[in-house]
Structure formats: structure tokens, C-alpha cells
Structure 1
Amino acid sequence: MHIRNYEFKARIEGIEQYEQQLLKLSPRFVGEDHQIDTYFNAPQGRLKLREGDIENALIHYDRQDLQGSKLSNVILYKHKPDGALKDILIRQLGIKVVVDKRRRIYFIDNVKFHLDRVAGLGTFLEVEAIDDSGCYTIEELKEQCDKYYEYFKLNQQDLIEKSYSDLLLEQQMDSP
């Protein structure tokens, strides 16, 4: 499945206040997922295997590391959990880094909200305006993202330009 999305990620203090703010909009709650994202040494873009209680997928994406809302081009392959896929990827590409997180997932129409607790990094709000059917223009996706940035009253300094994997890799490099 090919997907375009516009997204932003912000470091937040206390998931509860953002969740209460979100609940005022009557989103659809999908559930809380414990996700292990294993990133591989891909020659191009990012490649991760997501293993969760709700979401399981092999995900390839290209995205610039920009602060604020940014476009991602995603190829998503949903699968049933099977250790053989992970074993093949590890043998062929090697593990780059593993991200362990607890994610509360909500939707309003095509917009997905993640309230994340990431091991070793802290708490985050991620908003993705998703187009998996070619119904939205890039401008419309960006407008949706910007609307929620304003709704949550976030500041530029809260925004994270990198993926969790990059933040963890930086942290590992800084550790003696």
C-alpha cells in the first residue's frame, strides 16, 4: 500500500493533558499498542519492521528531517506476525536500532494521533494527515496537520525534526 502523509512530532510533558484536549474532539480510539520498531540498515530511506499488539507492518519511508510538518512517502506492507520475516531482514540488512514504545492511537477522519511513551526518550505527540487513496492534495494534508498544531498550542521548540530511531542513535553516540 502506497501512502502519502503530512506529519509532525512534538516532545510533550505529560500525555494526559494532550489526550484530554484531543478527547474534546470526539476522536475514535483504536487502542494502546506496545510497539517494537526494528530499523534496518537500508541503502535508501528508512526501513522498519513494526511488531505490536494492534499494528504489524513492514514500512519503508522517505522523509526529510525538517522541524514542523513534513511530507512522507510510505510503502506499507501489513502482515501477520511471523518471526521468519524479521530473521530474513536481520540476516540481509542488519539491525540499525530498535525503538520500544507504548502508543495510544486515535483517529479523526483521515488524521491519526499518536500519544507515545518512548523508552529512553520520553513522551511525544505525533499527528499524521494520511492519504492512502489519492483523495487529498499535499496542501490539504499540510492544512490538516497545521490545524492540529495550532489546536494543541504547540511551540516551534517542541517540534522534533528526526525520527525516534535517529534520536536514539544520537543518544547512543553521545554515551561513553
Structure 2
Amino acid sequence: MGVEIEAKMRIADLDAVRAKLKSVGATFVGRTNEVNRFYDAPDARLSSADRGLRLRTNANADTGEATHVVTMKGPRQKGAFKTREELEFTVDDVDAVANVFAHLGYPLNLSFEKRRESWTLDGCKIELDEMPVFGTFVEVEAVDEAAIEAIQKKLGLAGEPSISEGYATMVAKHLKTTGGRELRFS
């Protein structure tokens, strides 16, 4: 099992971050259109325990080729940045996985789309994300907090406040007010 350590910042101008990534020698990985589906028991036992069960479809923005990843997220650990245990594996049949989850008592709870542009720099992953309703974000994922801080400094983001709330939590709060179960781009 791996541990995910990340900093997420709301950034209004992704073009400026993209230009900075290029100027410091970051490597462009690609663009994807994601559909994130979260599953939970009717009593919300996973989210109540600060756990998550996600089925993500990543469609390459240029080719449309898709991959599907199941992720189990453990409770958040203490630290300056969002840190949590994470177990992931790929699957071929999204419908079969969704049916297995439902039969185990974990039906679809919420779903949202996200556009993501991925980069790497100094062994770290940098994601430029666009969400419906919420705007644009930068995520920096690394093996430790010092590496995240170094990347933030290189990209001129050291003064930007880190958001500890995950996208699923943000979307869940929004959907609670609108009465929906999914958030999509128009």
C-alpha cells in the first residue's frame, strides 16, 4: 500500500503555472478527462470513517483511450499536507465493478467530472485540474512534505494556501445543496 502526500491549491491562472512548469524544465505527461465515481454504504460508513472507495475512468483527451482505476483511500494522517493511505488497481469492466460494489452494500454515492493536465518535475507529480462549478486547482504530489514545498517554491506557489478538502467532499457538499448525485461539465 502506498501513501499519498499532496498539496492542493486553488489557482485562477493555470496558464501562468503551465508557463512556469515549462520554464523550469517540467515534463508534460498528458491530458485526461476523468469521471470519478464514489461508492459508500447507505449509512455513509466509509465517508464517516474518512475513507473513500472510488472508481475513476481516465480518458486520454487526445485519443479517447480510457483506463479504469479502483482506489481505496484510508483516513487522513496528521501533517502539513493531505496525507493518506491509498491502494489502487486497474480494471477492465466498469459496470462489473460497480455491480460488485453495489452487491457488497456500496452503491454509487456521487459522481463528478474533472479535466486534468499532468506534469512531472523532480520526481513529483503536478496536476493542473479544472472542475465544474469550483474552478481550477494545482495539485503537487510527492514522497514527502519537503519535496512538495520545494516544488511549490520552484513554481512560485509557496504563498498559496493549501486546501485540505478533497474534491469528493467539495462535490458532496455542493450536491447536497442542489439535490443531485453528479457534477458534469455543460
Distance in 1, Cα, partners of 2:137 & 2:78? 16
- In the alignment, which residue of structure 2 is the partner of 1:99? 112
Q: Which of the residues 50, 53, 68 maps onto 1:56?
A: 68
Change (3 A) 1:66 1:152: farther
Q: Tell me which moved more, 153-162 or 18-27.
A: 153-162
Distance in 2, Cα, partners of 1:66 & 1:17? 31
Matches within 5 A, 1:15-164: 15-41=14-40, 43-44=45-46, 45-54=51-60, 55-64=67-76, 68-91=80-103, 92-130=105-143, 141-154=144-157, 158-164=161-167
CA contact (8 A) 1:67 1:159 kept: no
In the alignment, structure 1 segments of 5+ residues that lack a partner are 131-140
Summarize deviations over 1:30-82 as a string: whole Å, max 9, x none: 21000001011163411100111255210011242889523221101122354
Q: Which of the residues 157, 166, 169 maps onto 1:166?
A: 169
Distance in 2, Cα, partners of 1:99 & 1:36? 6
Distance in 2, Cα, partners of 1:10 & 1:159? 5
Distance in 1, Cα, partners of 2:76 & 2:124? 20
1:27 Cα deviation (Å)? 2.1
1:172 Cα deviation (Å)? 2.4
Distance in 2, Cα, partners of 1:95 & 1:68? 31
Change (3 A) 1:149 1:116: same
Counterpart secondary structure, 2:33: strand
Letter in 1 for 2:130: R
Which structure 1 residue ranges, 4+ long, deviate > 6 Å from structure 2? none
CA contact (8 A) 1:65 1:162 kept: no
In the alignment, structure 2 segments of 5+ residues that lack a partner are 61-66, 180-186
CA contact (8 A) 2:115 2:131 kept: yes
CA contact (8 A) 2:114 2:130 kept: yes
Change (3 A) 1:75 1:84: same
1:24 Cα deviation (Å)? 1.7
Counterpart secondary structure, 1:56: strand
1:158 Cα deviation (Å)? 3.5
Letter in 1 for 2:7: F
CA contact (8 A) 1:68 1:156 kept: no
Matched-pair identity in % = 19
CA contact (8 A) 1:35 1:103 kept: yes
CA contact (8 A) 1:127 1:145 kept: yes
Counterpart secondary structure, 2:145: helix
1:175 Cα deviation (Å)? 4.2
